[in-house]
């Protein structure tokens, strides 16, 4: 069985910065309130009319990752795109990236696992490579949240959290069994699906035509809903569990961790997990203060920035972990 290694990383975020003070002009909130609860100071939101979409941001991140991998785009065997905010209801953005990059008729797979989407996508890519099916896989996480948020006081509990952006990695086959993705671990708990969800439009409930026909100004079904406290309580438990699961699988301990990169859901969650594992500030990478929660894009953006800043060195043990809507959660243990 082969090993899979990350050989290229890239990220892209819109130029438009939206600060907490700017949000206070749209809704009843303020910088102190947002920072206290989330740790976020600003986020990137696509400017209306800019032409930027989930797939175009993913494409830009992918170009950088491919260039840094030192390969030709036609060496890519497969594309996996994780998002909850595709350009179209269908088809998914994977094929749009394929077209934009002018890549031959390889397969393209879309993953809809929200906050843990990148880890699910990475796990699928890892298995494809380890079993010998593919040699080089492009894995993308990209989100455009800003157009689907309730930017009023009614929706402030959710809207202040989310940002737009994309990250990508190139995964490659390796013969070195001691380096690369050592293991991935995925879980879900569907009984809590409604605690962090967006109900409409959906085929089983209410479709776009129903929403337009009813024209109800109080209808919140097409905006994201989050039971914040319940999500927080579950997240801190599952983060710790799934990280420990990965460490135990590989006969490692928390002392072996060089860098933990958690999904950027809430700085308070990351700080809790850091405390539970007794990690120093320089052993945990957080960038939520600048970008907010970019869902499937948060881990690849943070991973890319950490690598760019020299915080990841050859031989380091890097741990990725995420928790979110579904509930779904997961971890990846990587020897760099």
Of residues 165, 223, 156, 150, the one with CA closest to residue 20 = 156
Q: Which of 11, 20, 115, 286 is catalytic?
A: 115
> Per-residue confidence of the chain (336 residues) as pLDDT tens digits?
899 999 999 999 999 999 999 999 999 999 999 999 999 999 999 999 999 999 999 999 999 999 999 999 999 999 999 999 999 999 999 999 999 999 999 999 999 999 999 999 999 999 999 999 999 999 999 999 999 999 999 999 999 999 999 999 999 999 888 899 999 999 999 999 999 998 878 777 777 778 778 888 877 776 888 898 999 999 999 999 999 999 999 999 999 999 999 999 999 999 999 999 999 999 999 999 999 999 999 999 999 999 999 999 999 999 999 999 999 999 999 999
Cross-strand pairs, 184: 332
Angstrom distances, CA of residue 158 to CA of 37, 66, 114: 12, 34, 15
pLDDT reported for residue 172: 98
> Is 82 within 8 Å of 296 (Cβ atoms)?
yes
pLDDT reported for residue 63: 98
Other Cβ atoms less than 10 A from the Cβ of 335: the count is 21
pLDDT reported for residue 211: 77
Q: Which of 20, 234, 263, 266 is catalytic?
A: 263
Question: What are the structure tokens assigned to 204, written together?
Answer: 């089983």
- What's phi and psi for 190, nearest 5 deg? -65, -15
Burial class (CB in 10 A: 0-12, 13-18, 19+), 280: exposed
Angstrom distances, CA of residue 90 to CA of 82, 85, 96, 134: 14, 11, 11, 25
Q: What structural domains does the chain harbor? A: 3-177 (3.40.47.10), 181-335 (3.40.47.10)
Q: Which long-range contacts (CB under 8 A, 24 or more apart) does 27-36 make?
A: 27/151, 27/152, 27/153, 27/155, 27/156, 27/159, 27/160, 28/153, 28/156, 29/153, 29/156, 29/160, 34/160
What is the chain's length? 336
- What's phi and psi for 260, nearest 5 deg? -105, 125
Q: Report residue 143 CA to chain centroid gap.
A: 8
Cross-strand pairs, 137: 78, 171
Q: Give yes or no: 316 in active site.
A: no
Of residues 115, 102, 112, 106, the one with CA closest to residue 137 = 106
Q: Give yes or no: 275 in active site.
A: no
DSSP-derived pairing of the beta strands 17-19 and 259-262: unpaired
Q: Give yes or no: 234 in active site.
A: no
pLDDT reported for residue 120: 98
pLDDT reported for residue 288: 98
> Is 119 within 8 Å of 82 (Cβ atoms)?
no
């Amino acid at each position: 069985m082969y090993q899979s290694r990350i050989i290229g990383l890239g990220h892209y975020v819109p130029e438009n910065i939206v600060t907490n003070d700017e949000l206070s002009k749209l809704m009843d909130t303020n910088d102190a309130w947002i920072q206290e609860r989330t740790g976020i100071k600003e986020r990137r939101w696509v400017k209306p009319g800019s032409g930027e979409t989930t797939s175009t941001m993913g494409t830009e991140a992918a170009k950088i990752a491919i260039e840094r991998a030192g390969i030709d785009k036609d060496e890519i065997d497969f594309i996996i795109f994780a998002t909850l905010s595709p350009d179209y209801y269908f088809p998914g953005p994977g094929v749009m990236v394929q077209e934009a990059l002018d890549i031959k008729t390889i397969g393209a797979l879309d993953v809809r696992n929200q906050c843990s989407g990148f880890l699910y996508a990475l796990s699928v890519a890892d298995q494809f490579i380890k079993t010998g099916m593919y040699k080089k896989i492009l894995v993308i996480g990209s989100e455009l949240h800003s157009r689907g948020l309730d930017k009023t006081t009614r929706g402030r509990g959710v809207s202040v959290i989310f940002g737009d952006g994309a990250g990508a990695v190139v995964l490659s086959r390796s013969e070195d069994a001691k380096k690369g993705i050592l293991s991935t671990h995925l879980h879900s708990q569907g009984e809590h699906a409604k605690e962090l969800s967006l109900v409409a439009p959906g085929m089983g409930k209410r479709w776009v035509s129903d929403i337009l026909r009813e024209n109800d100004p109080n209808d919140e079904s097409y905006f994201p809903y989050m039971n914040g406290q319940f999500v927080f309580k579950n997240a801190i438990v599952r983060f710790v569990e799934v990280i420990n699961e990965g460490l135990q699988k590989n006969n490692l301990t928390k002392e072996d961790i060089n860098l933990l990169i958690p999904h950027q859901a809430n700085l308070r969650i990351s700080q809790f997990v850091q405390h539970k594992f007794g990690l120093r500030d320089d052993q945990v990478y957080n960038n939520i203060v600048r970008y907010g929660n970019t869902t499937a894009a948060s881990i690849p953006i943070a991973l890319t920035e950490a690598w760019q800043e020299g915080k990841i060195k050859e031989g380091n043990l890097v741990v990725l972990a995420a928790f979110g809507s579904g509930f779904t959660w997961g971890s990846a243990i990587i020897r760099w």
